[in-house]
Amino acid sequence: MTTESNADAPAELLDRARRDYKELTARGLKLDLTRGKPAPEQLDLSEGLLSLPGDRHHAPDGTDVRNYGGLRGLPELREIFSDVLQVPADRLLAAGNSSLELMHDCLVHAFLSVLPGAETRWADQERIAFLCPVPGYDRHFALTERFGIEMIPVPMDDSGPDMDVVERLVAEDPAVKGIWCVPKYSNPNGVVYGDETIARLARMTTAAPDFRIFWDNAYAAHHLTDEPVEIADLSAACAESGNPDRPFVFGSTSKITFAGAGVGFFGSSTANVDWLTANSSKRSIGPDKVNQLRHLLFLRDAEGLRIHMERQRSLLQPKFDTVQRILEAELGGTGLAEWTTPTGGYFVTLEVGEGCAKEVVRRAAEAGIVLTPAGATHPYGDDPRDATIRIAPSFPSLEELEKAMLGLTTCVRLVGYEKRHG
Protein backbone atom coordinates (compact mmCIF):
# COMPACT_ATOMS: atom_id res chain seq x y z
CA MET A 1 0.00 0.00 0.00
CA THR A 2 1.09 3.55 -0.65
CA THR A 3 0.20 6.04 2.06
CA GLU A 4 0.94 9.69 1.90
CA SER A 5 -0.93 12.61 3.27
CA ASN A 6 -1.60 16.17 2.42
CA ALA A 7 -4.21 17.04 5.00
CA ASP A 8 -4.19 20.76 4.26
CA ALA A 9 -4.96 20.60 0.54
CA PRO A 10 -6.25 24.01 -0.50
CA ALA A 11 -9.72 24.52 -1.96
CA GLU A 12 -8.20 25.04 -5.40
CA LEU A 13 -7.51 21.30 -5.49
CA LEU A 14 -11.27 20.86 -5.36
CA ASP A 15 -11.78 23.44 -8.12
CA ARG A 16 -9.26 21.68 -10.31
CA ALA A 17 -10.87 18.29 -9.64
CA ARG A 18 -14.26 19.75 -10.59
CA ARG A 19 -12.86 21.18 -13.82
CA ASP A 20 -11.13 17.90 -14.67
CA TYR A 21 -14.31 15.97 -13.98
CA LYS A 22 -16.35 18.27 -16.20
CA GLU A 23 -13.88 17.71 -19.02
CA LEU A 24 -13.95 13.98 -18.36
CA THR A 25 -17.73 13.72 -18.65
CA ALA A 26 -17.66 15.80 -21.84
CA ARG A 27 -15.42 13.20 -23.49
CA GLY A 28 -18.21 10.60 -23.77
CA LEU A 29 -15.98 7.71 -22.76
CA LYS A 30 -17.16 4.10 -22.74
CA LEU A 31 -14.65 2.08 -20.74
CA ASP A 32 -14.91 -0.99 -18.54
CA LEU A 33 -12.68 -1.95 -15.63
CA THR A 34 -15.08 -4.43 -14.07
CA ARG A 35 -14.16 -8.04 -14.66
CA GLY A 36 -10.86 -9.83 -14.57
CA LYS A 37 -11.12 -11.21 -18.08
CA PRO A 38 -8.13 -12.02 -20.29
CA ALA A 39 -7.66 -9.54 -23.13
CA PRO A 40 -8.04 -10.77 -26.73
CA GLU A 41 -4.20 -10.73 -27.13
CA GLN A 42 -3.94 -13.07 -24.16
CA LEU A 43 -6.47 -15.43 -25.72
CA ASP A 44 -4.49 -15.28 -28.97
CA LEU A 45 -1.54 -16.86 -27.12
CA SER A 46 -3.57 -20.07 -26.97
CA GLU A 47 -4.85 -19.96 -30.54
CA GLY A 48 -2.97 -23.20 -31.18
CA LEU A 49 -5.54 -25.00 -29.05
CA LEU A 50 -8.17 -24.49 -31.72
CA SER A 51 -6.47 -26.79 -34.18
CA LEU A 52 -5.77 -29.45 -31.57
CA PRO A 53 -6.03 -32.36 -31.01
CA GLY A 54 -6.15 -32.63 -34.81
CA ASP A 55 -6.74 -36.21 -35.88
CA ARG A 56 -5.49 -37.57 -32.58
CA HIS A 57 -8.15 -39.37 -30.59
CA HIS A 58 -6.19 -41.14 -27.95
CA ALA A 59 -4.58 -39.93 -24.76
CA PRO A 60 -1.10 -41.25 -23.94
CA ASP A 61 -2.66 -43.93 -21.71
CA GLY A 62 -4.73 -45.21 -24.65
CA THR A 63 -8.04 -43.59 -23.62
CA ASP A 64 -10.21 -42.73 -26.63
CA VAL A 65 -11.06 -39.16 -25.64
CA ARG A 66 -14.12 -39.04 -27.88
CA ASN A 67 -15.99 -41.50 -25.72
CA TYR A 68 -17.78 -41.44 -22.36
CA GLY A 69 -15.91 -42.10 -19.14
CA GLY A 70 -12.74 -41.03 -17.41
CA LEU A 71 -14.46 -39.11 -14.63
CA ARG A 72 -11.13 -38.18 -13.03
CA GLY A 73 -9.76 -36.60 -16.20
CA LEU A 74 -6.64 -37.35 -18.22
CA PRO A 75 -3.79 -38.41 -15.89
CA GLU A 76 -1.09 -36.68 -17.95
CA LEU A 77 -2.89 -33.33 -17.77
CA ARG A 78 -3.35 -33.76 -14.01
CA GLU A 79 0.38 -34.41 -13.84
CA ILE A 80 1.14 -31.00 -15.42
CA PHE A 81 -0.96 -29.16 -12.83
CA SER A 82 0.03 -31.29 -9.87
CA ASP A 83 3.06 -29.20 -8.88
CA VAL A 84 1.49 -25.82 -9.32
CA LEU A 85 -1.64 -26.79 -7.35
CA GLN A 86 0.42 -28.75 -4.80
CA VAL A 87 -1.69 -31.91 -5.02
CA PRO A 88 -0.35 -35.29 -6.21
CA ALA A 89 -1.82 -36.18 -9.60
CA ASP A 90 -3.58 -39.27 -8.25
CA ARG A 91 -5.60 -37.02 -5.95
CA LEU A 92 -6.22 -34.28 -8.51
CA LEU A 93 -9.27 -34.34 -10.78
CA ALA A 94 -9.36 -32.63 -14.18
CA ALA A 95 -12.99 -31.74 -14.77
CA GLY A 96 -15.09 -29.36 -16.86
CA ASN A 97 -14.28 -25.86 -17.99
CA SER A 98 -14.64 -24.04 -14.67
CA SER A 99 -13.39 -24.24 -11.11
CA LEU A 100 -16.28 -22.12 -9.89
CA GLU A 101 -18.69 -24.86 -10.90
CA LEU A 102 -16.59 -27.35 -8.91
CA MET A 103 -16.91 -25.07 -5.87
CA HIS A 104 -20.65 -24.88 -6.51
CA ASP A 105 -20.87 -28.66 -6.76
CA CYS A 106 -18.88 -29.20 -3.57
CA LEU A 107 -21.32 -26.99 -1.69
CA VAL A 108 -24.34 -28.74 -3.20
CA HIS A 109 -22.93 -32.20 -2.49
CA ALA A 110 -22.05 -31.21 1.10
CA PHE A 111 -25.69 -30.25 1.61
CA LEU A 112 -26.96 -33.47 0.07
CA SER A 113 -24.46 -36.14 1.12
CA VAL A 114 -22.43 -36.62 4.26
CA LEU A 115 -18.85 -35.37 3.93
CA PRO A 116 -15.99 -37.61 5.04
CA GLY A 117 -15.60 -37.09 8.78
CA ALA A 118 -19.17 -35.83 9.27
CA GLU A 119 -22.20 -37.51 10.80
CA THR A 120 -24.91 -35.51 9.07
CA ARG A 121 -25.48 -33.68 5.82
CA TRP A 122 -25.37 -29.90 5.86
CA ALA A 123 -29.01 -29.91 4.75
CA ASP A 124 -29.93 -31.54 8.06
CA GLN A 125 -28.28 -28.85 10.14
CA GLU A 126 -30.04 -25.76 11.31
CA ARG A 127 -27.33 -23.28 10.44
CA ILE A 128 -24.27 -23.36 8.18
CA ALA A 129 -21.72 -20.53 8.18
CA PHE A 130 -18.57 -19.72 6.20
CA LEU A 131 -15.71 -17.41 7.07
CA CYS A 132 -15.11 -14.85 4.36
CA PRO A 133 -11.77 -13.05 4.44
CA VAL A 134 -12.34 -9.50 3.17
CA PRO A 135 -11.85 -8.03 0.72
CA GLY A 136 -12.65 -11.17 -1.27
CA TYR A 137 -14.06 -12.56 -4.51
CA ASP A 138 -17.67 -11.57 -5.18
CA ARG A 139 -18.58 -14.87 -6.85
CA HIS A 140 -17.53 -16.83 -3.75
CA PHE A 141 -19.86 -14.67 -1.72
CA ALA A 142 -22.64 -15.03 -4.31
CA LEU A 143 -22.35 -18.83 -4.06
CA THR A 144 -22.53 -18.99 -0.27
CA GLU A 145 -25.38 -16.48 -0.25
CA ARG A 146 -27.30 -18.50 -2.82
CA PHE A 147 -27.26 -21.57 -0.58
CA GLY A 148 -28.33 -19.66 2.52
CA ILE A 149 -24.91 -20.04 4.11
CA GLU A 150 -24.29 -17.31 6.65
CA MET A 151 -21.18 -15.30 5.81
CA ILE A 152 -18.90 -14.05 8.54
CA PRO A 153 -16.34 -11.46 7.36
CA VAL A 154 -12.79 -11.86 8.63
CA PRO A 155 -10.21 -9.08 8.21
CA MET A 156 -7.08 -9.73 6.14
CA ASP A 157 -3.57 -8.53 6.68
CA ASP A 158 -0.51 -8.80 4.45
CA SER A 159 -0.19 -12.53 4.99
CA GLY A 160 -3.81 -13.65 4.77
CA PRO A 161 -6.82 -13.76 7.09
CA ASP A 162 -6.40 -12.62 10.68
CA MET A 163 -5.72 -16.04 12.19
CA ASP A 164 -6.56 -15.05 15.76
CA VAL A 165 -10.09 -14.29 14.57
CA VAL A 166 -10.28 -17.42 12.39
CA GLU A 167 -9.07 -19.74 15.16
CA ARG A 168 -11.53 -18.31 17.64
CA LEU A 169 -14.54 -18.54 15.30
CA VAL A 170 -13.87 -22.09 14.09
CA ALA A 171 -13.20 -23.32 17.62
CA GLU A 172 -16.34 -21.90 19.20
CA ASP A 173 -19.00 -22.39 16.53
CA PRO A 174 -19.76 -25.86 15.06
CA ALA A 175 -21.93 -24.21 12.38
CA VAL A 176 -18.78 -22.74 10.81
CA LYS A 177 -18.13 -25.30 8.11
CA GLY A 178 -15.75 -23.55 5.81
CA ILE A 179 -13.57 -20.65 4.80
CA TRP A 180 -12.98 -19.12 1.37
CA CYS A 181 -9.29 -18.61 0.61
CA VAL A 182 -7.50 -17.37 -2.51
CA PRO A 183 -4.02 -18.08 -1.18
CA LYS A 184 -1.82 -16.71 -3.94
CA TYR A 185 -2.19 -13.23 -5.44
CA SER A 186 -5.61 -13.03 -3.86
CA ASN A 187 -8.63 -11.56 -5.59
CA PRO A 188 -8.75 -8.58 -5.13
CA ASN A 189 -5.86 -7.46 -2.92
CA GLY A 190 -3.02 -9.59 -4.29
CA VAL A 191 -2.19 -10.98 -0.84
CA VAL A 192 0.01 -14.07 -0.69
CA TYR A 193 -0.69 -16.27 2.33
CA GLY A 194 2.29 -16.56 4.66
CA ASP A 195 3.74 -19.87 5.86
CA GLU A 196 2.57 -19.34 9.43
CA THR A 197 -0.97 -18.51 8.29
CA ILE A 198 -1.08 -21.71 6.25
CA ALA A 199 0.34 -23.76 9.13
CA ARG A 200 -2.29 -22.34 11.50
CA LEU A 201 -5.11 -23.03 9.02
CA ALA A 202 -3.90 -26.63 8.77
CA ARG A 203 -3.60 -27.31 12.49
CA MET A 204 -6.34 -25.19 14.07
CA THR A 205 -8.98 -26.94 16.11
CA THR A 206 -12.44 -26.72 14.58
CA ALA A 207 -15.73 -27.39 16.35
CA ALA A 208 -17.16 -28.78 13.10
CA PRO A 209 -15.77 -32.25 12.27
CA ASP A 210 -16.42 -31.58 8.58
CA PHE A 211 -14.80 -28.14 8.33
CA ARG A 212 -13.35 -27.48 4.86
CA ILE A 213 -10.91 -24.90 3.53
CA PHE A 214 -12.06 -23.89 0.05
CA TRP A 215 -8.54 -23.24 -1.27
CA ASP A 216 -9.17 -21.47 -4.55
CA ASN A 217 -5.70 -21.29 -6.06
CA ALA A 218 -6.99 -19.54 -9.18
CA TYR A 219 -3.78 -17.51 -9.66
CA ALA A 220 -1.24 -20.19 -8.76
CA ALA A 221 0.82 -19.67 -11.94
CA HIS A 222 0.02 -16.02 -12.59
CA HIS A 223 3.18 -14.19 -11.63
CA LEU A 224 3.90 -10.56 -12.52
CA THR A 225 7.55 -10.40 -11.48
CA ASP A 226 10.82 -12.26 -11.99
CA GLU A 227 10.41 -13.82 -8.60
CA PRO A 228 7.52 -16.28 -8.71
CA VAL A 229 6.04 -16.66 -5.27
CA GLU A 230 5.74 -20.11 -3.72
CA ILE A 231 3.35 -20.71 -0.88
CA ALA A 232 3.46 -23.44 1.76
CA ASP A 233 1.76 -26.70 0.85
CA LEU A 234 -1.61 -26.64 2.63
CA SER A 235 -2.54 -30.23 1.75
CA ALA A 236 0.73 -31.58 3.17
CA ALA A 237 0.43 -29.39 6.26
CA CYS A 238 -3.14 -30.57 6.88
CA ALA A 239 -2.09 -34.21 6.50
CA GLU A 240 0.81 -33.68 8.91
CA SER A 241 -1.55 -32.08 11.44
CA GLY A 242 -3.93 -35.02 11.27
CA ASN A 243 -6.51 -33.11 9.20
CA PRO A 244 -6.03 -34.63 5.71
CA ASP A 245 -9.63 -34.04 4.68
CA ARG A 246 -9.63 -30.33 5.50
CA PRO A 247 -8.54 -28.76 2.16
CA PHE A 248 -10.56 -28.63 -1.02
CA VAL A 249 -8.10 -27.30 -3.63
CA PHE A 250 -9.43 -25.65 -6.79
CA GLY A 251 -7.74 -24.26 -9.88
CA SER A 252 -8.30 -23.86 -13.59
CA THR A 253 -6.76 -22.80 -16.87
CA SER A 254 -9.36 -20.04 -17.32
CA LYS A 255 -6.65 -17.38 -17.13
CA ILE A 256 -3.98 -19.58 -18.68
CA THR A 257 -5.63 -20.62 -21.94
CA PHE A 258 -9.29 -19.80 -22.72
CA ALA A 259 -11.49 -18.35 -19.98
CA GLY A 260 -14.58 -19.98 -21.46
CA ALA A 261 -13.03 -23.21 -22.69
CA GLY A 262 -10.34 -24.18 -20.22
CA VAL A 263 -10.08 -27.02 -17.72
CA GLY A 264 -11.01 -26.90 -14.02
CA PHE A 265 -9.23 -28.93 -11.30
CA PHE A 266 -10.12 -30.26 -7.88
CA GLY A 267 -7.58 -31.79 -5.50
CA SER A 268 -7.91 -33.18 -2.01
CA SER A 269 -7.49 -36.27 0.20
CA THR A 270 -8.36 -39.67 -1.25
CA ALA A 271 -11.56 -39.73 0.86
CA ASN A 272 -12.70 -36.34 -0.46
CA VAL A 273 -11.77 -37.13 -4.07
CA ASP A 274 -13.73 -40.40 -3.84
CA TRP A 275 -16.65 -38.54 -2.27
CA LEU A 276 -16.74 -35.93 -5.04
CA THR A 277 -16.23 -38.50 -7.79
CA ALA A 278 -19.05 -40.68 -6.46
CA ASN A 279 -21.39 -37.68 -6.33
CA SER A 280 -20.28 -36.33 -9.73
CA SER A 281 -20.88 -39.72 -11.34
CA LYS A 282 -24.62 -39.11 -10.89
CA ARG A 283 -24.32 -35.80 -12.67
CA SER A 284 -22.02 -36.67 -15.57
CA ILE A 285 -20.62 -39.70 -17.39
CA GLY A 286 -17.32 -37.92 -17.82
CA PRO A 287 -15.70 -34.59 -18.65
CA ASP A 288 -14.74 -33.15 -22.03
CA LYS A 289 -11.58 -35.18 -22.60
CA VAL A 290 -11.10 -33.84 -26.11
CA ASN A 291 -10.52 -30.44 -24.54
CA GLN A 292 -8.25 -32.01 -21.94
CA LEU A 293 -6.17 -33.74 -24.65
CA ARG A 294 -6.01 -30.45 -26.54
CA HIS A 295 -4.61 -28.79 -23.40
CA LEU A 296 -2.16 -31.61 -22.82
CA LEU A 297 -0.80 -31.40 -26.38
CA PHE A 298 -0.65 -27.62 -26.23
CA LEU A 299 1.03 -27.17 -22.84
CA ARG A 300 3.04 -30.42 -23.02
CA ASP A 301 4.47 -30.35 -19.49
CA ALA A 302 5.12 -28.18 -16.43
CA GLU A 303 7.89 -26.33 -18.28
CA GLY A 304 5.51 -25.64 -21.19
CA LEU A 305 3.05 -24.19 -18.71
CA ARG A 306 5.77 -21.99 -17.20
CA ILE A 307 6.82 -20.64 -20.61
CA HIS A 308 3.21 -19.99 -21.57
CA MET A 309 2.66 -18.03 -18.35
CA GLU A 310 5.75 -15.93 -19.11
CA ARG A 311 4.04 -14.92 -22.36
CA GLN A 312 0.90 -14.05 -20.43
CA ARG A 313 2.97 -11.96 -18.07
CA SER A 314 4.57 -10.02 -20.91
CA LEU A 315 1.09 -8.80 -21.87
CA LEU A 316 -0.21 -8.21 -18.35
CA GLN A 317 2.76 -6.59 -16.66
CA PRO A 318 2.69 -3.36 -18.71
CA LYS A 319 -0.96 -2.94 -17.74
CA PHE A 320 -0.25 -3.37 -14.05
CA ASP A 321 2.70 -0.97 -14.39
CA THR A 322 0.38 1.57 -16.02
CA VAL A 323 -2.07 1.31 -13.14
CA GLN A 324 0.71 1.90 -10.60
CA ARG A 325 2.20 4.77 -12.58
CA ILE A 326 -1.09 6.64 -12.86
CA LEU A 327 -2.14 6.01 -9.27
CA GLU A 328 1.20 7.31 -8.06
CA ALA A 329 1.23 10.33 -10.38
CA GLU A 330 -2.37 11.37 -9.74
CA LEU A 331 -2.99 10.33 -6.14
CA GLY A 332 0.46 9.95 -4.58
CA GLY A 333 0.90 12.41 -1.73
CA THR A 334 -2.75 13.47 -1.71
CA GLY A 335 -3.76 11.33 1.24
CA LEU A 336 -6.93 10.45 -0.69
CA ALA A 337 -6.20 6.79 -1.37
CA GLU A 338 -4.01 3.77 -0.79
CA TRP A 339 -3.54 0.91 -3.19
CA THR A 340 -1.97 -2.51 -3.51
CA THR A 341 1.03 -3.35 -5.69
CA PRO A 342 0.40 -6.99 -6.52
CA THR A 343 3.21 -9.31 -7.60
CA GLY A 344 0.79 -11.57 -9.45
CA GLY A 345 -2.86 -12.28 -10.15
CA TYR A 346 -5.42 -10.08 -11.84
CA PHE A 347 -6.39 -7.21 -9.57
CA VAL A 348 -5.38 -4.04 -7.78
CA THR A 349 -7.31 -2.89 -4.73
CA LEU A 350 -7.83 0.82 -4.33
CA GLU A 351 -8.81 2.02 -0.87
CA VAL A 352 -10.38 5.45 -0.96
CA GLY A 353 -11.54 7.49 2.02
CA GLU A 354 -14.20 6.02 4.26
CA GLY A 355 -17.67 6.58 2.81
CA CYS A 356 -16.27 7.44 -0.66
CA ALA A 357 -16.18 4.21 -2.70
CA LYS A 358 -19.83 4.14 -3.84
CA GLU A 359 -19.67 7.80 -4.80
CA VAL A 360 -16.43 7.32 -6.77
CA VAL A 361 -17.98 4.38 -8.64
CA ARG A 362 -21.13 6.43 -9.33
CA ARG A 363 -19.19 9.44 -10.62
CA ALA A 364 -17.01 7.18 -12.78
CA ALA A 365 -20.12 5.55 -14.28
CA GLU A 366 -21.52 8.99 -15.08
CA ALA A 367 -18.30 9.68 -16.95
CA GLY A 368 -18.61 6.39 -18.88
CA ILE A 369 -16.14 4.32 -16.84
CA VAL A 370 -17.71 1.16 -15.43
CA LEU A 371 -16.15 -0.23 -12.26
CA THR A 372 -17.02 -3.28 -10.16
CA PRO A 373 -19.83 -2.11 -7.84
CA ALA A 374 -18.45 -0.80 -4.56
CA GLY A 375 -19.17 -3.36 -1.86
CA ALA A 376 -18.81 -6.36 -4.20
CA THR A 377 -15.60 -7.29 -2.41
CA HIS A 378 -17.55 -7.94 0.80
CA PRO A 379 -20.26 -10.46 1.82
CA TYR A 380 -23.79 -9.30 1.02
CA GLY A 381 -22.25 -6.46 -1.02
CA ASP A 382 -21.73 -4.56 2.21
CA ASP A 383 -18.37 -2.90 2.71
CA PRO A 384 -18.94 -1.32 6.12
CA ARG A 385 -16.30 1.34 5.48
CA ASP A 386 -17.48 1.93 1.89
CA ALA A 387 -13.85 2.34 0.92
CA THR A 388 -12.77 -0.59 -1.30
CA ILE A 389 -12.68 -0.44 -5.10
CA ARG A 390 -11.45 -3.34 -7.22
CA ILE A 391 -9.51 -2.50 -10.37
CA ALA A 392 -9.25 -5.16 -13.08
CA PRO A 393 -6.62 -4.00 -15.60
CA SER A 394 -6.39 -7.09 -17.82
CA PHE A 395 -9.11 -6.64 -20.42
CA PRO A 396 -8.86 -3.08 -21.79
CA SER A 397 -6.09 -2.14 -24.20
CA LEU A 398 -3.19 -0.15 -22.73
CA GLU A 399 -4.59 3.00 -24.26
CA GLU A 400 -8.09 2.42 -22.86
CA LEU A 401 -6.66 1.46 -19.50
CA GLU A 402 -4.68 4.68 -19.33
CA LYS A 403 -7.81 6.73 -20.08
CA ALA A 404 -9.87 4.75 -17.59
CA MET A 405 -7.27 5.15 -14.83
CA LEU A 406 -6.92 8.88 -15.42
CA GLY A 407 -10.71 9.14 -15.27
CA LEU A 408 -10.92 7.04 -12.14
CA THR A 409 -8.27 9.07 -10.34
CA THR A 410 -10.11 12.25 -11.32
CA CYS A 411 -13.22 10.83 -9.65
CA VAL A 412 -11.21 9.90 -6.54
CA ARG A 413 -9.87 13.47 -6.35
CA LEU A 414 -13.32 14.95 -6.90
CA VAL A 415 -15.08 12.83 -4.27
CA GLY A 416 -12.17 13.00 -1.83
CA TYR A 417 -11.77 16.78 -2.00
CA GLU A 418 -15.54 17.31 -1.94
CA LYS A 419 -15.66 15.35 1.28
CA ARG A 420 -12.69 17.20 2.70
CA HIS A 421 -13.69 20.71 1.64
CA GLY A 422 -17.33 20.45 0.60
Contact positions toward ligand PLP, by CB under 6 A? 36, 98-100, 137, 182, 187, 216, 218, 252, 254, 264
Question: In angstroms, what is the minimal distance from the CB of 57 to ligand PLP?
Answer: 26
Question: In angstroms, what is the minimal distance from the CB of 380 to ligand PLP?
Answer: 18
Task: Label residues 16-40 b or e (16+ Cβ within 10 Å = b).
Answer: ebeebbeebeeeebebbbbebbbbe
State the DSSP code for 9: -
Strand ranges in 73-211 using DSSP code E only, listed in sequence order: 92-94, 129-134, 150-157, 160-161, 176-181
Task: Report the alpha-carbon angle 254-255-256, nearest 5.
Answer: 95
State the DSSP code for 49: G
Per DSSP, the three-state class of 94 is strand
CA-nearest of 321, 34, 333, 42 to 188 is 34
**331: amino acid identity, one letter:** L
Instruction: Mention every residue, 6+ apart, whose C-beta is less than 8 A from residue 190.
Output: 340, 341, 342, 343, 344, 345, 347, 348, 349
Question: In angstroms, what is the minimal distance from the CB of 345 to ligand PLP?
Answer: 8
157 beta partners = 160
Question: In angstroms, what is the minimal distance from the CB of 9 to ligand PLP?
Answer: 36
Per DSSP, the three-state class of 345 is coil
Please identify, using beta-carbon distances, which residue of 122 and 137 lies nearer to ligand PLP. 137
Please identify, using beta-carbon distances, which residue of 118 and 376 lies nearer to ligand PLP. 376
Please identify, using beta-carbon distances, which residue of 309 and 412 lies nearer to ligand PLP. 309
Question: In angstroms, what is the minimal distance from the CB of 137 to ligand PLP?
Answer: 4
Please identify, using beta-carbon distances, which residue of 21 and 193 lies nearer to ligand PLP. 193
Instruction: Mention every residue, 6+ apart, whose C-beta is less than 8 A from residue 296.
Output: 59, 60, 74, 76, 77, 80
Question: In angstroms, what is the minimal distance from the CB of 187 to ligand PLP?
Answer: 4
Please identify, using beta-carbon distances, which residue of 256 and 415 lies nearer to ligand PLP. 256
Report d(CA 408, CA 372) in Å as an integer: 12
Please identify, using beta-carbon distances, which residue of 9 and 151 lies nearer to ligand PLP. 151
Question: In angstroms, what is the minimal distance from the CB of 352 to ligand PLP?
Answer: 22
Report d(CA 144, CA 304) in Å as an integer: 36
Question: In angstroms, what is the minimal distance from the CB of 328 to ligand PLP?
Answer: 25
Please identify, using beta-carbon distances, which residue of 280 and 334 lies nearer to ligand PLP. 280
Please identify, using beta-carbon distances, which residue of 218 and 414 lies nearer to ligand PLP. 218
